[in-house]
Each structure stands twice: as structure tokens, then as C-alpha cells.
Amino acid sequence: MIVFVLVTVWVMKNYVLINAVIPSASMEDTIMTGDRIFGSRLSYEFGEPQRGDIAIFKFPDDESQLYIKRVIGLPGDKVQIIDGKVYINDSETPLDEPYLPEPPEGDYGPYYVPEDSYFMLGDNRNWSKDSRFWTNTYVKKEKVLAKAIFRYYPFNKIGVIEKD
């Protein structure tokens, strides 16, 4: 019985779920510093990251660190930030981002997302160190490990993590 439990835990940890503790305020108010979450590895084994997903990935400037940010730019996209608003592929309408805790500031880009890569931003834009500031701007597809799906701590906030 103990062997079965150990094998099950090992399979879950390595192939099904990632357990993460949120170390910073970059995703507030969606996910708070100190929150504990599960990410689904299977989401990206059988599908592609979608714009708006909250993804757990290996930090492109130091792959020993795991980061969590929102997927904003998809492969082949042009991403531009004007007066804090995100525009994709020269659209005249900015992304609808109701999850932002405060209006972001600044102009960045344009960024041209390479094939098999993603452009990531934190929800707390004015305080997030994200694709705008990294030496290696984009996250390669194979480095995107899981989609954040469930918060299990703090106990008063247990539940599914929504995109919006």
C-alpha cells in the first residue's frame, strides 16, 4: 500500500500537477503573495497556452526559478503597450483586462513574439518584473510547465483560479 501511495504521489508531482508558492506581488490581486496553488501540467501537454492563461514556467533568465505570469503574447503576435494598455497585432482596441488592480503606466514595445514562444506580463503591472524587463524577453513553449488552476491556501480563498 505504501509503495502504491508513493508511486501515485510521484506520478502526480511529475506528470499531472505542480505545487507552487507565490513569492511576490506581481500577480496581485488575482493571486496574492504567499498563496499556494496547483498548476495542471496536462493542460499544456494536450493543448496550447491561450491568451489570458496564468502559466507557471521556467524563468528564461534563470531556469532554476519558476515564475507565474499571465500569457499575453502568443507565437507570431506583435505586442505593444501604449499608455499602459496592451495592443495585439495593431488592433485599435486594447486588450480587455478587468483583472488589473490599478491602471498600468508606460509605453513598451513593440515586441514580436517568435514562433514557439510567449510574452508574459504580471497582473500588478506597475510592480511586476516580466517580459518587458527580462534579458530573454520570451518564454519558449517547452519551458511553459503548467496552467494555474486551483488555490489551496489560504483556506478562506480555496477555489478554482479564473482567467478573469
Instruction: Give the residue numbers marked as catalytic.
Output: 26, 69
For residue 158, give every residue at least 6 positions away whose Cβ sits within 8 Å of its Cβ, in sequence order, or none: 151, 152
Identify the bridge partners of residue 146 per DSSP, sorted by sequence position.
56
Q: Read off the DSSP letter of residue 81.
A: E
Identify the bridge partners of residue 54 per DSSP, sorted by sequence position.
70
Give the Cα separation of 131 and 119 in Å (integer): 6
Contact, 76 vs 33, CB < 8 A? no
